[in-house]
Every structure is written in C-alpha cells, then in structure tokens.
Structure 1
Amino acid sequence: MTLDQQIALCESHRAQLRFSTFDANDAWVLGNTLYREAARKGFALAIDISVNHLCLFSALMPGATAENIDWVRRKRNLVAFLGISSWAAGLMLQSRKTTLEQRYGLNLRDYAAFGGSYPLYLTSGCQIGTVTVSGAPQRDDHNLVLDTLREMLGIAQSELTLVPDAVC
C-alpha cells in the first residue's frame, strides 16, 4: 500500500467513523470495550476518552506506566489540534517530508504523531473529542481504536479496512 493510499484510507475512516450523539455513557462503553479487547490481545495500555477537553474515561491497565500516560497526552494534543488521527498525521508529515516542529511550530514534548489517538466526530461534522490509547506498537494502537469504533457504530468488519501489517 503506497503512502497516498494509506492517507486516503485514513480519510475514508474519518468519513465513516462518526456518531449521531456521544455522551458520558458512550465514553464508558467505548473505554470498557477498549480495555477488554486490549486485555484479550495482551496489551498493557493507558486509555483516555475526552470530550470538549473533559476526560470522560481514563484507565491504566496492569503493566502500563506513566510513560504511556504521557504518550496519550501528546497524541491527544495532536488530534485535538489537527482533527485527524495521530496515525494519519504521521503519514501526512512523512508525505510532506517535514516534522511537527517545522510545519506547525509544535514542541515534540507536547505533541506526538504516532498511532493510537483518533478524533471523535459527530455526523454533523463537528469534532467533539478524542479517544486515545498507548502501550502497544503504534499500528496496533491505531487498529484497536479503529476496530472498536467500527464495532460500536455497527459497521460491518468487511466495510472498514484496518491498517495492514506491511505498512509500518
């Protein structure tokens, strides 16, 4: 899969993965589903779901550390800033042969373009928050979030292509 194809795939995901409404109960369901699936896969993650800069769900799984919490913060900051997934941001920077510092003047201590954070959009097009995980390899972090959102939104597995192994 070429870089342009990967970026197009990310754009397709962003158009598909939208909620008609999203509230604290939805955050609880999403967070718990992420937690259970991560445990099933043997991942030790930090998980954060924030809406309007308010944390509605936060968990640190056994084996995860304060470093994972910091990665969550940095990825979440980037997604809130750009409105695209942290994975897509990394692809975009790679495509443009630039960095967050060069393109946006962002400090890498506060922003990270590595997979695992995803914007929460309403069907109206309004970005209301983020869902972020950190602790597995970045592609696995990204795909875990994608697949969990897909399931929660009732989108068939055949209708949403995850990032293939060969991309990394």
Structure 2
Amino acid sequence: MSVPLNPTDLAELIQRIEDEERRLVLTRFDNDDAWRLGCTLTELARTRRLPVTVDVRRAGQQLFHCALPGTSADNDAWLRRKSRVVDRFGHSSYLVGLRHLARGTTFEEKSRLDPDRYAAHGGAFPITVAGVGVIGTVAVSGLPQGEDHRLVVDGLERFLAA
C-alpha cells in the first residue's frame, strides 16, 4: 500500500491508525509475552512467505528478534530507526510520518531529527499497556511501509485474540 496523496484518503488512513492504537492495548506485557508476540508475527510472516525482520522491545531492551530469509542488516537499521520514532513520539512510526504529510511537510523536514537515527516510515507500533501507557515497540521491516504496518497490526490482533 502506498501513501495516498488525496487529502481525504490520507485523513481516513490517519483515523484508522489512531483507532488501531486505541484498540490494540494489552493488559500486561512481560518477556514471555514478547516472545509469544514475536513468534506470532514470525509465523504470520512465514505463512505469507514474507521477507521481513521482526523485533520486539520493552523499555529499550530487545526481547525478540528474528530475520527471515530475504532480509539483511539494512532491515535491522530500519527497525532501530522506526522504533526510535515510537519511543520518542508514543505513536506508530507510520502515523507520525502521515501526520507530517497531512500538514504539507515531511517528518525529516519538520522534526529536524537525524535521519540516520529516526525514520517515520510504517512498521513500528507502540506496545501499550492499559493503565500504564507505551512501554515498548513491536516492529517489522522488509516490505513497503504500509504493508509493514499492516503486518504488525495483524500480528497484534492475532496475539490479543489468543
């Protein structure tokens, strides 16, 4: 999925992601949960034959990491950059980038953050615990940004349903 240029489509996409962030909230999250979430995403990617790297972090500590065939060290760099956006802004990396586009600018232009350290591209999503807030990130890299984001959301939905 590419980023829509139509302002109405962009507004609808932003609303959808905001709704996902409100809906995909956990009651708890520990190291075992990180393992299960990472495995859920990895299995989803394997089933779909997707060349992605999966990463789960809590409070900056990497708790799960899996690089599937077809990925490279570049995916690891993208994961770190996208996760830093979530850590800094408390929202998915895709949402942060889209909000800048909706204001007629880019994240790189407006944030003035080092693009070698921050990337507001789809694929990193906040791990939010009810009553606590954002405590970490779950991220995927390897697909176009909208597809990375969608895969993370699909994985979180499956994890919450289990």
Asked if TM exceeds 0.5, the reply is yes
Deviations 1:42-100 (A, max 9, x none): 21111110001111101111221001111111101111111111111121011012222
What stretches of structure 1 move > 2 A for 4+ residues in a row? 99-104
Question: Residues of 1 paired with 2:109 and 2:72: CA distance?
Answer: 30
Distance in 2, Cα, partners of 1:99 & 1:2: 17
Number of residue equivalences: 155
Report sequence identity in percent: 37
Alignment match of 2:55 (pick from 39, 48, 57): 48
Matches within 5 A, 1:13-28: 13-28=20-35
Of 125, 149, 160, the match for 1:142: 149
Task: Compute the RMSD of aligned alpha carbons.
Answer: 1.4
Residue 35 (structure 1) aligned with residue 42 (structure 2): yes
Q: Structure 2 length as normaliser, TM-score?
A: 0.90
CA contact (8 A) 2:55 2:140 kept: yes
Q: Quick check: 1:59 aligned with 2:72?
A: no
Matching of residues 89-100 of structure 1 within 5 Å: 89-100=96-107
Q: 2:3: which partner in 1?
A: none
Is residue 40–residue 158 contact of structure 2 (8 Å, CA) maintained in 1? no
Task: Give secondary structure in 1 for the equivalent of 2:62.
Answer: strand
Corresponding residue number in structure 1 for 2:5: none
Contact kept? 1:100, 1:107, Cα under 8 Å:
no
